[in-house]
Structure 1
């Protein structure tokens, strides 16, 4: 596979199935390769340096104006542009400081009992909805767990959570490399619905403050000094919701699949849940839930000997960097004991994912608990990938729970 074929693969539906041969082809041509007016970065060292370089720019409104003059017509795109995701300093610095002030390690740590309770409830759901011992682990555990946890953190009442999977899936289509007119329309509608919901919840929280992120960020919007605008408040609430849900769902689903494919490793984790942090890091490295991001060069650069002009678009292939043999010996081997494991799955530098500790904690609790509750867990049928190249995960993953699972109602998937 040459560079042109590799890029074509990554821009096609095949990328959702298996992008790794295309990544390998690009790496063989060099850690930074120019093609079609963009530069594809597959080397770990180069991707890490670009992510940490303050002279590199995120895809903000100014850059979007240069590429898509009608982006403001789609609220799905515009909502993320108002968030930390699509901001550069000084706006990004201000927003990040405000968000980090409320999304603290202490607040995340207090969620562990909530996560453990939600995992236990999810495991009960798996058993209760199994048909002949078979159930979809995505529908009954990997999707509802992160939704429940992020909603607790935000302060969303349990009765209001039912539609969030639908809204998040529709909205995040605009974060993909490719999306069609129908997906754009669905993202626009989802953004409008989500904005209306948060506007109503913010109004309630201003009257009845709680110890949650909606209350805290709404206070930042109303405060003197460093504040969030109304658009930034809405954009960052949407980002926290969908990022906290999508990445963790994919992390858990990818982890289940890898453990089922590696029963000896699964047995070790079942016997010793204390191994979970190393397992989760290797899952993140081997098959990350976010496959790529982009930056734009703020000035003329030379990267790995390749000239990149100011304004040049850099496609950072995180999934490829995580399998760079110069950084990870035997990169195509799933090895939870890998020393010095530091994948780029949550980024690096100023835009490092704020919710990374929460996503890790949820997977560290859920995966060993699943294996211990159902020691005979096995794949029941071929899983089905989501049609997403960037936010990589499974749409459905049927599993057989084994003799430990009580059969009850008809399998609803």
Structure 2
């Protein structure tokens, strides 16, 4: 864990391989880290995520560790969400969202996904004319899931860039290596701005419902959730349907370009997407809290101690996946644990899969000459692993240079 926290984010997989040689879980002895144990075996990760004895970090657990947490808007907002709730409170909030965020609703989003993908690819084609490099992350991977979840919630397109910037500030604080006061202060300010925005939008939808998820939540919620609980959960839903999907698109592209057979068999894309989720998953770390004194695979835990659940490592567990460091879309029974498991399974998982399965074939079909450009830049986070910048070219035309190089044929 110390190695991961101090710089293993560029390529954590060799470190994961070392962990797997130690078993499925180990105690964490690094005093600078708040965790008592790390769990990384697939079986152990699946067990702890499903076991109600291991809870998420809710307000009750936060109180003794951070007595002044209510002075921080980001903590208040997050503690009002199902992501940071347990038991009946979690069930009450999740039950409301499951009423309206249904598989049918995800399926109904498919025309929007196709339309938005086409519009963004038109823009990429324009920017990439004459061989110019285009940042795939900035111009496509960021914008598609942001606009899709914006359409789902009923957010105006012109507000999406602002929303993304606010969510990024909160994600910076959520990353377990980045807890400086300046990061917390920026996250607090972002949470205040997002709360004000959503409260205003909720009031608008209560007065004049539209064809969007917020309207349906307001109408179906009644007294099941407060407006502040609704704000917290909308923030989490935007995050779950946006931040993870960005890196799914980014992590997928280099892997797909190395395998040209996928262009000839677009119907195989669901299998490729699942293998991307396993091989280079966006979400690498979940946190759980022991609700009582217990033992996990030989590691003693006291009530209230934190466990780092390494889903990125679990997806490379050789006990579960043969040759785990080989990308193989033909794997049998390929069930990555990238979106978690149990009561807190990611609410946006179905939408993320749908976006990738629809949009990635469209990218490859639209740009048969698509290739990676200059050096990519990885993010410096571990909880969400992906690319900050991923330059691409989308035509085989070569720019005329100062020395007079001629264009290649298209």
State the TM-score, normalizing by the size of structure 1.
Answer: 0.91
CA contact (8 A) 1:127 1:133 kept: no
Q: Which residue number corresponds to residue 79 of structure 1?
A: 77
Matched, 1:399 2:392: yes
- Find the residue that maps to 1:40 and give its secondary structure: strand
CA contact (8 A) 1:102 1:213 kept: yes
- Find the residue that maps to 1:395 and give its secondary structure: strand
Q: Which residue number corresponds to residue 276 of structure 2?
A: 283
- Find the residue that maps to 2:254 and give its secondary structure: helix
Give, in whole Å, the separation in 1 of the partners of 2:398 and 2:253.
Answer: 17
Give, in whole Å, the separation in 2 of the partners of 1:119 and 1:399.
Answer: 17
CA contact (8 A) 1:374 1:404 kept: no
Would the alpha carbon gap of residues 164 and 404 (structure 1) be closer, same or farther in structure 2, given more than 3 Å must change?
farther
Give the C-alpha shift of residue 302 in structure 1: 2.6
Give, in whole Å, the separation in 2 of the partners of 1:405 and 1:320.
Answer: 41
Q: Which residue number corresponds to residue 410 of structure 1?
A: none
CA contact (8 A) 2:199 2:227 kept: no
Give the C-alpha shift of residue 121 in structure 1: 1.0
Give the C-alpha shift of residue 220 in structure 1: 4.3
CA contact (8 A) 1:40 1:315 kept: yes
- Find the residue that maps to 1:290 and give its secondary structure: coil
Matched, 1:258 2:251: no
Which of 1, 9, 15 aligns to 2:3? It is 9
Give the C-alpha shift of residue 359 in structure 1: 0.1
Structure 2 stretches of 5 or more lacking a match? 30-34, 401-410
Give the C-alpha shift of residue 364 in structure 1: 0.8
Give the C-alpha shift of residue 306 in structure 1: 2.7
Which of 292, 309, 316 aligns to 1:316? It is 309
Give the C-alpha shift of residue 405 in structure 1: 11
Matches within 5 A, 1:87-126: 87-126=85-124
CA contact (8 A) 2:128 2:395 kept: no
Give, in whole Å, the separation in 2 of the partners of 1:198 and 1:405.
Answer: 47
- Find the residue that maps to 2:300 and give its secondary structure: strand
Q: Which residue number corresponds to residue 170 of structure 1?
A: 169
State the TM-score, normalizing by the size of structure 2.
Answer: 0.92
Structure 1 stretches of 5 or more lacking a match? 1-6, 408-413
Give the C-alpha shift of residue 257 in structure 1: 2.4
Q: Which residue number corresponds to residue 359 of structure 1?
A: 352
Q: Which residue number corresponds to residue 135 of structure 1?
A: 134
Matched, 1:192 2:192: yes
Give, in whole Å, the separation in 2 of the partners of 1:367 and 1:406.
Answer: 27
Residue by residue over 1:29-59, the C-alpha shift from the partner in whole angstroms, topping out at 9 and shown as x without a partner, is 2211002251100100000011111221111
CA contact (8 A) 2:240 2:347 kept: no
Which of 52, 58, 61 aligns to 1:60? It is 58
Which of 275, 280, 288 aligns to 1:295? It is 288
Give the root-mean-square deviation of aligned CA atoms. Answer: 1.8
CA contact (8 A) 2:369 2:395 kept: yes
Would the alpha carbon gap of residues 114 and 149 (structure 1) be closer, same or farther in structure 2, given more than 3 Å must change?
same
Would the alpha carbon gap of residues 405 and 374 (structure 1) be closer, same or farther in structure 2, given more than 3 Å must change?
farther
Q: Which residue number corresponds to residue 249 of structure 1?
A: 246
Matches within 5 A, 1:191-230: 191-221=191-221, 223-224=222-223, 227-230=224-227
Residue by residue over 1:123-165, the C-alpha shift from the partner in whole angstroms, topping out at 9 and shown as x without a partner, is 1111112263310101111001001100111011223223122
Residue by residue over 1:82-120, the C-alpha shift from the partner in whole angstroms, topping out at 9 and shown as x without a partner, is 111000001001111111111101111000010011111
Give, in whole Å, the separation in 2 of the partners of 1:52 and 1:68.
Answer: 26
Give, in whole Å, the separation in 1 of the partners of 2:132 and 2:244.
Answer: 28
Q: Which residue number corresponds to residue 373 of structure 2?
A: 380
Q: Which residue number corresponds to residue 229 of structure 2?
A: 232
CA contact (8 A) 1:128 1:406 kept: no
Give the C-alpha shift of residue 406 in structure 1: 12
Give the C-alpha shift of residue 404 in structure 1: 8.0
Give, in whole Å, the separation in 1 of the partners of 2:57 and 2:398.
Answer: 48
Give the C-alpha shift of residue 65 in structure 1: 1.5
CA contact (8 A) 1:76 1:187 kept: yes
Give the C-alpha shift of residue 333 in structure 1: 0.5
- Find the residue that maps to 2:9 and give its secondary structure: helix
Residue by residue over 1:224-278, the C-alpha shift from the partner in whole angstroms, topping out at 9 and shown as x without a partner, is 4xx1122211100111112211011111011112223x2xx2x222111111110
Give, in whole Å, the separation in 2 of the partners of 1:115 and 1:53.
Answer: 35
Number of residue pairs matched by the alignment: 393
Q: Which residue number corresponds to residue 411 of structure 1?
A: none
Structure 1's consecutive aligned runs of 4 or more residues displaced over 6 angstroms after TM superposition are 404-407
- Find the residue that maps to 1:311 and give its secondary structure: coil
